[in-house]
Structure formats: structure tokens, C-alpha cells
Amino acid sequence: MTQENDIYKCFHSVDSQWFRRRLFSLMIVVLIAFGILATRLFYLQIIHGDHYYNLSKNNCVRMQRVNPVRGLIFDRSGKLLVENRPSFDLTIIPSDAKPVDQTIKKLVQYVPEFAEAILETTSKKIGYGYKPVLLKTDIGRDALASISAHQFDLPGIVIEANARRDYIHPGLAAHLIGYLGEINADEINKNIYPNKKSGDLIGRFGVEKACDEYLSGVPGGRIVQVNANGQMVEVLDTVAPEPGHNVFLTIDYDLQQTAETLLQDKTGVAMAMDPGTGEILAIANSPTFNQNDFIGGISTVKWKELMSNPDRPMLNRAIQGEYPPASTYKVVTAMAAIGEGIINQHTTFFCPGSYNYGNRDYGCWKKQGHGRMDVVNALAQSCDVFFYYCGKKLGVDRLARYAKGCGLGELTGVQVDNEADGLIPTAAWKKQTIGTPWQGGENLSIAIGQGYNLVTPLQLLAFFGAVANGGVLYKPLIVKSVNTVEGDAVITGNPEIRGKLPVNRDSLGLIQKGLLQAVNHPQGTARGYVFDDMIRISGKTGTAQVVSRRLEKEGPNKGCKNSFKSHAWFVGYAPSEDPQIVVCVLIEHGEHGSSGAGPVAKEMIVSYLKSVFNQSSNQADPENMNVFEKSGSGLIMQ
């Protein structure tokens, strides 16, 4: 087509020769560029070809992942609760272990103790790639030595040193700390954990789950050159993994330990909180479980055992258990009755032992009656009749508004998941859920915390914390801070206010007085089991009927002898003048709030305040240390 080059009619502004010259330059550029590529190919394939050919033969250059170390978990004062220990994991790289069968046979000879585990894995398809297949975790030092000594006889057998989670105090705060589990296919596909691959562990429960993104760290890797046996010859490149951050919980190890000891052989919850900040100091569930059992996959037998246990050890009762609040709810009723002007500090009622409403007698727990009661006495002695009256006047919906205002029947917003919200009934709720209208008599039952009411121990704890601190409802905190390994804070758990109790200062004072007398007044329901002559404690007992009294009389007919006994509550705080700790104890089938739950609560309060006192007395001057003497000095008698 070159003969036509002289006729470029359409180039109005430039001539054809000019265009040809420029195209010629372009051609030169193209040829130079391709010359560079050709030279590069010559360099790689001819000059250095043998080098690359050798590297390619056994796929000698490989990328290995280096797992990050998972962050540690401490208590509030820095006592280590969860750490990592080295674990030697036996793996096989099928493509290096030629032939696989023979290598496995030899391996089993060297470590006969793991024969079963090894053969179980290799009986399945292990592929033929360069990806290590795990044969046995945590083989121990003897096996490690035995295999290392015969390494040349065992091509493709690689021992990886990994960090393994170690729960130093098995069972301690197990529900709060949680455990790990292997990531599943669904989570990998959805890329919820971008840094994790199949076989990795992720937090499955508790703080391990809630703080997983901080704890897990970022994996690194290295590029290595291996020999024909698959054994490493040279590290070509390394990217160090980023270790996970350390988590400091708000719990106090000693108090937690005390609570767990006190709960032994019981079913229930014992919790404590700092009323000034909402920091959870202890959260003990009983029965508990050993988190170490979950490492490397829990065995089917153990899992079945945990799941079939009627006491449900896996249930985090503190935040997931929903119970009738029983008499502890009278605090709400009192608050509502004062707030709505139904009663004041001078209002009294006479308790003859029962209250008649609509052709039915609603009994007081004290059959002979309390006599004349004001609100303080009614709280202290837990007089049902006083609160029946309040309930009748209030009605369900007004009472529900106050209960919600106290944070009951609502999520507290604690950082671990699966929190239950409980239930505060309203007339509309009953109509919608049960289908029948609200009955006047039900106003009486709910006023004393029976009926449909359900709360979680955590809700009650937070509520009493607010009563103790003057009315501020805090969000329960479980994480004090998350720090990098260097100690720099990544996040700090600052107190978070959820709201204020629907009560003014004077009325709250009446309620606080009632709670003080419940423990300290000779007639107080908790006097016998909670009273301490050193520390002034305030609180409220509760005895939640599991089934109606009628059934109880007919006697047990379904196995468990305890199942008809009432649940026992004690919620309280101390020292009453300047509360440092608020506790909530629930013992399932503990019969009476005072005898069942009271002693546990008292013991927790006393041991915690003693340790606080000891700590401060080590620092402060001796004149300021008579907290106990001060609190023991005057009992209020009325």
C-alpha cells in the first residue's frame, strides 16, 4: 500500500511526509520497547534459566504464614487470667512426603502414642499439595525430640511451633471470658474475619468473642526456600506478625475467686459492680465449665455432657438468665408509688397478714401480719400488703414505666452478646401476647415482683448500683482497657451513663433508708444473714416462687427434688454511707432470699471491702483508715 502515500488529500493542515516521519518514530519506540522485553526474557530464560529451573523443580520457594500471638487477658489490677503457651503441632506436606503411606508408617513407629490420631487424619483424603495438613496438635517434648532426631527419614513431616490458648484458672469467669472455636466455612466465605483462614481459631463466646478484633492480631508471613525433602534451607523474606492487643477486664480476681468459691455446689449467679462507674467487679456463674476443653475442638462426649446437664453450665445466667425479681421489685413499686403521689414518707398501712381484693385474699409472707407500716418499714420487712395497696393504685402501665426507667426489662448494653432483655408486662402486652385483658388482681402480684415480671441479674445489679450512687444508671462495663503489647491504650472503658432513676433525692433517701434497715433493723428481712457489725450494708432480699404455692404443697412429682423450691435473691450495696460495691446474688432453688443468697452477698462485700481497705491503708496515713469503725458505730433503730 506504499504507492498511495503521496496522496493525502484530507490532511488539511499538515502534509503527508510529516505524518510519515512521526509514524516512523513511533515504530522505533515500539521496537525499542519490545527489544527491552526480549532482552529481559533472554536474561530470565537463557542466562539465569538454570537457576530458576532448579527453584521451580520442587516448588522450592514457598510462602508460610506466621500466626500472630493472641492478646492476653488480665483482671483489673493486671493479674494474668488468660495466656498462651507453646504447642508443637505435627503436620505433613503431602507433596514433599513421597510416598505418603511409607512416611506415615515410619512416623507411627517413632511416635506410637499418636498412631490413632495420625491414622484417623490420613485415612481421609489429605490431598497432594504443598499445604501443610495438621496431624496432631500439642505433641509434647518427647515426641518432638523423637521426630526431630529422625527428620531425614521423614520427608514432608514438619513440626510447627504455635501458640496455644491457656486459661490459667480453668472455669474462673468462664462465661465472661469465653472460649475459642474454629472458624467455619460460612464465616470464611462472608469474609467476616479478613485475616483468618480455614483452621484458625476465633473467639466464640464472651470477651474472647466481643474483643476478637483486638485480641487476634494480624498474621505475618515469610518466604522460604526449601530443599527436596521440604525442609527449610533459607528464609528469603519475612513480614513479622502484629501481636494481638491485651485486654484488661474490670473484674477483680480475688473477688471473682471468692464469689466462685461461695457458689460451689449451688446453682446461681453472684455479681458485683462498682456503683460509681458501672465496672463489673465479679461475675460468677455456677455451674461453670473448663474453657481449656474447647481448645482444639471440644470432644463430643464432653460437649454432650455439658449440653445434657440439667443445670445448664454453658448458660451465662448473669446476663442471659431471666428470673422473676420477686421482692427486690418492691423498690420499683415504692419509687413509683412515691413518684405518682400515692404515698409519701408519712403514709402508713396496717398489715393484718393478708389483703382482700375481688373476693380473694392476697396473703402477706408473714401470716400473722406486720402491723402498721410506712414505706421504710415496708421495704425493710418486705411487707407484701403495703405494696399490694400501692400496686392496686398504680396499675400495671404506670408501674411498667418506672420499671423501664430503672433499666429493668431492657438490655443494659453490656459488651458481651446474647444478653436477654427480660420482661416488664403492660396491659397492651398481655392483650397482644396472651390474648386476655389485664386483670385488676394482677396489679397486686406484679407490685411484689411476681407474675409476668422477668429480669436478668445484671439488670438488677445495675439498678441497685443506681440506687446506691444517688440515681445514676450506668452501663455495665466489663473491659477496663485494651492495650497494645507496648502498653499504649487502644480503647479505654469509660463510664457510660444510661439514664437517671425516675425519682427525686428525698424519695431516693427513703428507699435507701428502707434498704439500710432491711439489713440493720432487728426486724429487717436480711438482718439475720447479712448484718455485719463492721460494715454497714444495705440491700433487699427476694424469694421468687418457681411454681404456685398450691403445686408446692402437692409435692414434687418430676425427679429433681429442688425444682419446686423458690429462687433466692439478695441485692445490696456497702458501705451504706459511701457505697463502694453493689452485689447481686441469685441462688436457684435457694428457698429464702435472706438465708440462700444473703450470706454469699455478705461474704463478697466483706472480703472486697477488706482488700480495698488493706490496699488504701498501705498507702494512706493511718488516721483516715477507720472505715470499718465508722460504719460500725451507729445502727439505726426505729
Partner 1 sequence: MFDRRLIQNFDWGLLCITLILCATGLLILYSAVSTDDPLNISYFYKQMAWYGIGLFLMILMFLFNYKHLDKWAPVIFFFSLLLLVGVLLVGRHAGGATRWLVIGPFTIQPSELVKIPVIIMLARYFAKNVRQNGIGFRDLLIPMGLTSVPFFLVLIQPDLGTAGTIVLIAASMAMFAKIDRRTLICFILIAIVAIPVGWKLLHPYQRERVLTLLSPEKDPLGAGYHIRQSKIAVGSGLIVGKGYLQGTQKKLSFLPEQHTDFIFSVLAEEWGFAGSMSILFMFVVLLVFGLNIAHGCRDSFGAILSVGITAMIFWQVFINMGMVTGIMPVVGMPLPLISYGGSSVITLLIAIGILMNVSMRRFLN
Binding of partner 1 by 36 (CB under 8 A) = yes
d(CA 571, CA 468): 11
Strand partners, 159: 90
* Cβ contact 388:334 at 8 Å: no
Contact flag: residue 223 with partner 1 (CB under 8 A) = yes
Nearest distance in Å: CB 490, partner 1: 18
Residue pair 593/543 in contact by the 8 Å Cβ criterion? yes
Chain residues 372-431 in contact with partner 1, contact rule CB under 8 A? none
Q: Does 52 bind partner 1 (CB under 8 A)?
A: yes
Please report whether residue 7 would count as binding partner 1 according to CB under 8 A. Answer: yes
- Per DSSP (E only), the strands in 477-537 are 479-483, 489-492, 497-500
Should residue 240 be labelled a site residue for partner 1 when binding is judged by CB under 8 A?
no
Q: How far is the CB of 61 from partner 1 (least distance, A)?
A: 6
Using CB under 8 A, which of 41, 240, 490, 560 touches partner 1?
Answer: 41
Asked if omega into 437 is within 30° of 0 (cis), the reply is no
Are residues 435 and 245 in contact, defined by beta-carbon separation less than 8 angstroms? no
Closer to partner 1 by CB, 22 or 561: give it: 22
Please tell me whether residue 27 binds partner 1 under the rule CB under 8 A: yes
SS (H, E, C) 528-572: HHHCCCCCCCEEEEEEECCCCHHHHHHCCCCCCCCCCCCEEEEEE
- Write the binding mask 118 to 157 for partner 1: x where contact by CB under 8 A, - elsewhere: -----------xx---------------------------
Separation CA 532–CA 576 (nearest Å): 12
Residue 41 CB burial class (10 angstroms; 0-12, 13-18, ≥19): exposed
- Per CB under 8 A, does 227 bind partner 1? no
Minimum CB distance to partner 1 smaller for 50 or for 629: 50
Can you count the helices (H) and strands (E) in the chain? Answer: 24, 23
Q: How many CB atoms lie within 10 A of CB 51?
A: 10
- Regarding 57 and contact with partner 1 (CB under 8 A), the answer is yes
CB of 308 to partner 1, least distance (A): 42
Residues 6 or more apart in contact with residue 88 via CB below 8 angstroms: 138, 139, 140, 141, 143, 144, 159, 160, 161, 162
Residue matched to cell numbers 474447647 = 294
| Site track for partner 1 across 75-114, x = CB under 8 A | --------------------x-------------------
Task: Confirm or reject binding of residue 557 to partner 1 (CB under 8 A).
Answer: no
Bridge partners (DSSP) of residue 64 are 222
Count, residues near partner 1 per rule CB under 8 A: 55
Q: Is 22 in the site for partner 1 (CB under 8 A)?
A: yes
Q: Does 350 bind partner 1 (CB under 8 A)?
A: no
**Which of 116, 237, 361, 496 contacts partner 1 by CB under 8 A?**
237
Distance of CA 47 to the CA centre of its chain: 61
In the complex, least distance from residue 55 CB atom to partner 1, rounded to whole angstroms: 5
Determine, following the binding rule CB under 8 A, whether residue 61 of this chain makes contact with partner 1: yes
What does the block give as the cell for 503?
A: 425519682
DSSP bridge partners of 255:
none
Q: Which is nearer to partner 1, 8 or 429 (CB)?
A: 8
For partner 1, the binding residues (CB under 8 A) are 1, 4-5, 7-15, 18-20, 22-23, 26-27, 30-31, 33-34, 36-38, 40-42, 44-46, 48-53, 55-57, 59, 61-63, 95, 129-130, 220-221, 223, 236-239
